[in-house]
Amino acid sequence: MFTTISTTLNQHLVTIAAVVIALLFIIIFLRLGWLYRRVNRLLSVGTVFNHSDKTPIVSIEKALITAAADLTELKKFTTEMRQYLTSVEHRLKNSVQSIGTVRYNPFKGTGDGGNNSFSAAFLNEQGDGIVVTSLYTRDRISVFGKPVTRFTSERELSQEEREAISICQKKTTTT
């Protein structure tokens, strides 16, 4: 009788263990199916299009490859733009940055000329450039140019030419 109870108990335990194992397998398979659907949903991008040729991207792997290629292209473009902007900035510093003009009458008291004469300075950021002076009389116009380096000239400057250079200097220091 004791062996019969023991055998019956063992059979019930085996049955219970088999049912528990079967339930665990069912739970594991359901969980695995749920994870499989989530992974597929994650890896399928849907209707995202490739930037370069406008073809649809159907997986996250292809999307990452496309993004990496776009990033490489963007880095190349950024490097090229930095070089270009450095070149432009260098050229800009050497171009005319300010213009100063002074109109005047060089023949005060004689009635010749009026305020039609002028001195104009064309200077870059460092104060290098040229000052042009035009003297106007009724019978002729004379034009003179003098080189300017660092807001001064080796040639003798008139008061009006110095004033035109001073106007340029004020403009370059205030900007």
Q: Which helix (H) or strand (E) holds 102?
A: strand 98-104
- Looking at residues 113-117, what average pLDDT do you find? 74
**Bigger pLDDT: 108 vs 98:** 98
Q: What pLDDT is recorded for position 49?
A: 61
The model's pLDDT over 61-73, given as tens digits with 9 standing for 90+, comes to 777 788 888 999 9
CA max distance for the chain: 150
DSSP for 113-170 reads: STT-EEEEEEE-TTS-EEEEEEEE-SS-EEEEEEEEBTTB-SS---HHHHHHHHHHHH
pLDDT above 60 for 134: yes
Rg (CA), the chain: 44
Instruction: Find how far residue 68's CA is from the centre of its chain.
Output: 20
Question: What 3-state DSSP class applies to 105?
Answer: coil
pLDDT band at 1 (very low <50, low <70, confident <90, very high): low
Question: 98 and 123 in contact (C-beta within 8 Å)?
Answer: yes
- Looking at residues 51-67, what average pLDDT do you find? 70
The model's pLDDT over 123-132, given as tens digits with 9 standing for 90+, comes to 998 899 999 9
Q: What pLDDT is recorded for position 76?
A: 96
Q: What is the C-alpha to C-alpha distance for residues 137 and 149, in angstroms, rounded to an integer? A: 30
Q: Which of 2-11, 33-42, 50-59, 160-169 has the highest mean pLDDT?
A: 160-169
pLDDT band at 136 (very low <50, low <70, confident <90, very high): confident
pLDDT band at 112 (very low <50, low <70, confident <90, very high): low
How are the residues of the chain apportioned to helix, strand and coil, as percentages rounded to the nearest 5? 55, 20, 25
Q: What is the C-alpha to C-alpha distance for residues 126 and 151, in angstroms, rounded to an integer? A: 8
Q: What pLDDT is recorded for position 62?
A: 75
Q: What pLDDT is recorded for position 109?
A: 64
pLDDT above 60 for 175: no
The model's pLDDT over 27-50, given as tens digits with 9 standing for 90+, comes to 999 999 999 888 877 766 555 566
